[in-house]
Amino acid sequence: MISFPRPRRPWGDVRFLIGIALVVAAVTGVWLVVSSARQTTPVLQATRTIVPGETIGGAVRVVEVALGSATDGYVAPDALPDGTVATRTIENGELLPRAATAAADSSRVTSIVVESTTIIPGSVSAGSAVELWSSAPSGDDKGFTAPRILLDEATVASVTRADGLLAGGRSSVELVVDRTEVGTVLGAVAEGAALSVVPLRARP
C-alpha cells in the first residue's frame, strides 16, 4: 500500500507566519500614520504682521493644525503670558513659533518715527526691512553732504504716506530699532539731516 505524505498546514510553516506578521505590521504602520495625520493640535496664528518688540496678545487667533512632532515648537493658546512680545517679524498667517517670543522686559528694541525726504515705495509696509540713509547739512547753505547709511537695517512698524501737493512727497515712518541706535537717529534729526528710507529687500 502506497502512503502519501500529509500536506503541510500553511499555518505551521514558519515562513508563512513571518509573512503574516509582516503584513500585519505594514497595515498597522499605515493606520498609525493616517491616524497621526488626522490628529490636530490648537496653536496660535498671527492675524496680521507683528513687528519686533510688539505685544503679541491681540494679534493672534487659535487654529487647529496637524503638526505631529513639531507641535512643541509653536505656542499653545494657554502658553502665552500677558505682555509677551515678538523678537522678530511674524508674518500675517504664520503660526506663532516659541523661538520668536520673549518677555517684554527682555526686549532690546524700541520704535522711533522719522520723516523720509524721498518717496517710499508702495511695497514698504509693516514688517518690511529697510535701510535709513542720512545727508547732513553742508554748512555753507548749498544743500547737503553726500548721503551715507545711518542704519544698515531697521524694521518698519507703520508708514504714513504724504498726500496732496503741499506734502512735498515726505512720509513719516515708524521704525523698530535697537535701543543703542536711538541716539544716532535723534542726533541726525537734531542737526537737520535729510533722512531717506530705502527698502532693503523685497518681502516674500
Whole-prediction pTM value?
0.72
In order along its 204 residues, the chain shows pLDDT tens digits of: 555 555 555 555 666 667 677 777 777 766 566 555 567 889 999 999 999 999 998 899 999 988 777 888 999 999 999 999 999 999 999 999 999 999 988 889 999 999 998 888 888 999 999 999 999 998 777 788 999 999 999 999 999 987 654 445 578 999 999 999 999 999 999 999 999 999 987 555
**pLDDT score, position 151:** 96
**pLDDT score, position 125:** 92
**Where is the domain boundary, 105, 125, 142?**
105
Q: Which domain holds residue 171?
A: 108-199
Three-class SS of residue 95?
A: strand
In a domain, 181, yes or no: yes
Phi, psi of 71 (to 5 degrees): -55, -40
Is the CB of residue 59 less than 8 Å from the CB of residue 45?
no
Cα–Cα distance measured from residue 101 to residue 87, given in angstroms and rounded to the nearest whole number: 6
Phi, psi of 48 (to 5 degrees): -160, 175
Distance of CA 137 to the CA centre of its chain: 38
Q: Which helix (H) or strand (E) holds 32?
A: helix 14-38
Whose cell is 504664520? That residue is 94
C-alpha radius of gyration, the chain, whole number: 30
* CA-to-CA dists, residue 155 to 19, 42, 63, 131, 190, angstroms: 61, 30, 27, 9, 22
Q: In DSSP terms, which residues pair with 131 in a beta bridge?
A: 198
Question: Do 86 and 59 have their domain in common?
Answer: yes
Cα–Cα distance measured from residue 23 to residue 136, given in angstroms and rounded to the nearest whole number: 77
**pLDDT score, position 165:** 44
Domain count, the chain: 2
In a domain, 4, yes or no: no
Question: Do 46 and 125 have their domain in common?
Answer: no
**pLDDT score, position 161:** 80
**pLDDT score, position 30:** 65
Q: Which helix (H) or strand (E) holds 177?
A: strand 171-178
In a domain, 54, yes or no: yes
Question: Do 131 and 186 have their domain in common?
Answer: yes
Question: Do 114 and 193 have their domain in common?
Answer: yes
